[in-house]
Structure formats: C-alpha cells, structure tokens
Amino acid sequence: MLLVTSMQKMWISFGSMGSLFLAMLFMFFVKTKFKNKILKAIFGLVAYILLFIGFITMVYIIFNPTKA
C-alpha cells in the first residue's frame, strides 16, 4: 500500500473535489444547455469519467493511512 503524507492527502482530496465539481458542471450543461447530441455524448462521458475518478480518489483518501 502506498503511504502518503497528510499534506499530500490534502492536495489529492482537493483534486478529487475539483473533479467532482467539474463532473457536476458538465452534467448541468449536458442536461440544460447542449442541443447537439454529439456534444452531449462527449461531455456526458467526460462527466462520468470525472465522477468515477473523484469517487475512487475519495475512497483512497478515506481508507488509506498516512505516514507517521
């Protein structure tokens, strides 16, 4: 298991929250603003990928111990 410092965990969690926020914004634009089906598909796929990355990194942050 890869051990990281508390400061590294903080920056990873900020990146995770940023990816979750971007996923939310992309889904908002897909649902409300875009009319083109190709753009909807591309941005929807990117949003789901960002959502998955954000979820996995949050799970990593919660369940991974830090260096002493």
Q: Residues 57-67: pLDDT tens digits?
A: 999 888 887 77
- Residue 62 in tokens: 């919660």
Place of tokens 């991974």: 64
- Residue 43 in tokens: 């941005």
Q: Residues 2-53: pLDDT tens digits?
A: 778 889 899 999 999 999 999 999 999 999 998 999 999 999 999 999 999 9
Q: pTM (2 decimals)?
A: 0.83
Query: How many other C-beta atoms are found inside a 10 Å radius of the C-beta of residue 40?
Result: 15
User: According to the model, what pLDDT value does residue 68 have?
Assistant: 61
- Residue 2 in tokens: 């890869």
| Sign, CA torsion 56/8/14/43 | negative
